[in-house]
Amino acid sequence: MNRIQSLFGIRWPIVQAGMIWCSGWELASAVSNAGGLGVIGAGSMYPEVLRDQILKCQAATDRPFAVNVPLIYPAIEEHMQTIIERGVPIVFTSAGSPAKWTPLLQAKGIRVVHVVSSVKFALKAEAAGVVAIVAEGFEAGGHNGREETTTMCLVPAVADAVKIPVLAAGGIHDGRTTLAAFALGAEGVQIGSRFVATPEYFSHRAFKGRIVDAAEGETLLRLKDLTPVRLLDNPFSQQVAAAEEAGAGVDALRDLLGRGRAKKGMFEGDLTEGELEIGQVSGQIKFIQPAATIVEDLVAAYQGFTAGMEDPHFRW
Amino acid sequence: MNRIQSLFGIRWPIVQAGMIWCSGWELASAVSNAGGLGVIGAGSMYPEVLRDQILKCQAATDRPFAVNVPLIYPAIEEHMQTIIERGVPIVFTSAGSPAKWTPLLQAKGIRVVHVVSSVKFALKAEAAGVVAIVAEGFEAGGHNGREETTTMCLVPAVADAVKIPVLAAGGIHDGRTTLAAFALGAEGVQIGSRFVATPEYFSHRAFKGRIVDAAEGETLLRLKDLTPVRLLDNPFSQQVAAAEEAGAGVDALRDLLGRGRAKKGMFEGDLTEGELEIGQVSGQIKFIQPAATIVEDLVAAYQGFTAGMEDPHFRW
């Protein structure tokens, strides 16, 4: 049992990313029931929706699960109040400074994990008292760091810099990529894209189908002048690229983005006008599979590799 | 002994990248003498310089070494003639189609390896008959693929797609990153940036010093509208960024780049006006060390990991 397993009280050090539109209770409870850590993505939920999702998740599993809260969320006090009231044991924070909320939550017995894209922010999060760090590389879907540091470069750098355990994110989806993450110094993995291609993920089935069809090179980082975000290629993403190529300013990009683009794409399944946030690894995801199968297959493959590393592939 | 060791006739499946300005005979022979594969980077050499470098390398080592030839090199016939005449056993090609030169070289008993940044080009190279592929991720220094696929995503995808062995490149510099590359399916690694920070590398010492001082996030992909290239931050790179931000076209960027920028930066040590090509991993390189020490330390660390994988880090 490693530090991530102990900290979270889970069988396998595998975390399902709390993605907007949407990681809901079905996915989170399925992953937790399979021995990983399921995470509800609160960033796209109204406070009453989050409350309902937590209640349903608690009814569906006796095991630990977490909620991911972007720290820029406007009604963050209500979210945190719900989390404290409902006794959610673990909170993942992202997109902001963990200095304010970490002590408040941890005083209530809630363990806080912060998601970072650089060593600089990892050190700040450690100083704020979080119990673990998610080091998320450039290849990850959705919002992304300006340094563009990849998982291969970021994870060893963060693992060297902090004393608390590190989870690797970005490009991880199976046993071999999990072994790579552990080789780089991670003590756990956070997996996003692969868990979107599940029956339990409550995004639109058109979005899931698009992920399974995605080819290599079909995701690119866009909107770098606003907040960098990795998007799957579609007419909306091409519009953004054309505007950026023409030298559009921040206001023009914000107008083009408008409101509700992510909901339209991922939740309503509008593959033309919607924003489709997904990782580079989508090019390798070819099936929709139950979350429990993903966890079981990953663990079996990982343990196959590490059972004495007898595989001659590793011997030279 | 794995396929890369057999194909190249080397003790360790570790290849030193054939970088411009400059991987010369001192570095290549030092790496080959340490049991890896040294590579002379011919892309920045006049034909007579390459001939001289090969002669010196042959005098300095009895072991196999290779020459890297970018296929866009203007005097490529002269380079290939020298390579054939001098009996260089292995050629790495990049930046172009391997369809023309691979059969000609291999008919002379020279093994050809091609460097790619996507599955599509890996399949083309395999069809052209190359004996191995270097899959080079977004984090690598110098010229780079338009898909921006990282090592973590690219290596498993290429390893799944081709039957010939794959070397991983991009972000690899030590035992743990080498183990990660093998976990992803590679049978060898190609290391660039780390071998620049050696006494044997004949670039300017100001450039080596700049690499040792480089911080996380200091390299970014520039000149995407011409040929994407990963550069270390400096006034020249900032000028490029400003021009790109202002919507500069291909001609304006080409004028700004001018001629001899890479030589000026890496060979002449002009850290202000020169082009400084290096990988993301430069942020983690803190010492100038002899090439043989790098190889020995890497092998020892890797074998420590794989000696039965007894390290409890891997057990969960």
Structure confidence by residue, pLDDT tens digits, A143-200: 999 999 999 999 999 999 999 999 999 999 999 999 999 999 999 999 999 999 999 9
Is it the case that residue B306 has pLDDT exceeding 90? Answer: no
Q: What is the mean pLDDT of residues A136-148?
A: 94
pLDDT at position B247 is 82
Residues 192-231 of A with CB under 8 A from B: 216-217, 220-221
The residue to which tokens 């270390």 are assigned:
B232
Size of chain B, expressed as the number of residues it contains: 316
The size of the A-B interface in CB pairs under 8 A is 163
At residue A313, the pLDDT reads 80
Confidence of residue B84 (pLDDT cuts 50, 70, 90): very high
Q: Where in chain A is the domain with CATH 3.20.20.70?
A: 3-202+286-314
- pLDDT score, position B314: 84
pLDDT at B275 over 90: yes
Mean pLDDT, residues B64-81 taken together: 96
Task: Answer whether B119 sits within 8 Å of A216, measured CB to CB.
Answer: yes
Residue of A nearest to B218 (CA): A147
- The answer to whether residues A78 and A105 touch, using CB atoms and an 8 Å cutoff, is no
Confidence class of residue A308 from pLDDT cuts 50, 70 and 90? low
What is the nearest CA distance from A28 to chain B, expressed in angstroms? 21
Please, are residues B117 and B157 in contact by the beta-carbon 8 Å criterion?
no
- Using pLDDT thresholds of 50, 70 and 90, give the confidence band for residue B220: very high
What is the pLDDT, as a whole number, of residue A316? Answer: 82
Confidence of residue B213 (pLDDT cuts 50, 70, 90): very high
Read off the pLDDT of each residue in A8-23 and give the average, rounded to a whole number: 94
Quick one: pLDDT at residue A310?
61
Q: Note whether B284 contacts A156, CB cutoff 8 Å.
A: yes
Mean predicted confidence (pLDDT) in B113-127: 97
What ipTM describes this predicted complex? 0.94
Say how far apart CA A181 and CA A167 lie, in whole Å: 8
Computed over every residue of chain B, the mean pLDDT equals: 95
Out of B150, B281, B284, the one facing A151 most closely (by C-beta) is: B150
- Please check whether residue A70 is in contact with residue A96, taking contact to mean a CB–CB distance below 8 angstroms: yes
B132: distance to nearest CA of chain A, Å?
A: 16
Model confidence at A39, pLDDT cuts 50, 70, 90, reads very high
Contact A119, A157 (CB under 8 A): yes
Q: A247: which chain B residues are within 8 Å (Cβ-Cβ)? A: 245-247
Domain B3-202+285-309 annotated CATH 3.40.50.300: no
Whether B15 contacts B302, CB under 8 Å: no
Q: Which of B4, B7, B152 to probe the A interface (max A CBs under 10 A)?
A: B152
- What DSSP line would sit under A197-261, residue for residue? SSTT--S-HHHHHHHHHPPTT-EEEE-TTSS-EEEE-SHHHHHHHHHHHTT--HHHHHHHH-SSH
Name the least confident of A91-105, B16-30, B100-114, B296-310. Answer: B296-310
Give the pLDDT score at A28.
98
Residue B72 banded pLDDT, cuts 50, 70, 90 = very high
Mutation test of the interface with chain B: which of A153, A220, A303, choosing the one with the most B Cβ atoms within 10 A? Answer: A153
Per DSSP, chain A holds a count of helices (H) and strands (E) of: 14, 11
Residue B316 pLDDT level (bands cut at 50, 70, 90) = confident
Residues A105, A91: contact at Cβ < 8 Å?
Answer: yes
Contact at CB, B137 and A120, closer than 8 angstroms: no
Contact by Cβ (8 Å): B9, B3: no
Q: Over 80: is that where the pLDDT of B308 sits?
A: no
Q: What is the mean pLDDT of chain A?
A: 95
Say whether B139 and A152 touch across the interface (CB within 8 A): yes
Nearest chain B CA: its distance from A203 CA (Å): 24
B118 and A216 within 8 Å at the Cβ level: the answer is: yes
Residue B309: pLDDT band with limits 50, 70, 90:
low
pLDDT band at A21 (very low <50, low <70, confident <90, very high): confident
Q: Start-end ranges of CATH 3.20.20.70 in chain B? A: 3-202+285-309
| Closest by Cα among B3, B124, B215 to A312 | B3
Residue B310 scores a pLDDT above 70: no
CATH number of A3-202+286-314: 3.20.20.70
Predicted pLDDT of residue A35: 98
Angstrom distances, CA of residue B247 to CA of A67, B148, B221: 41, 21, 16
Instruction: Tell me: pLDDT of A250 over 80.
Output: yes
Distance CA B160, CA A295 (A): 21
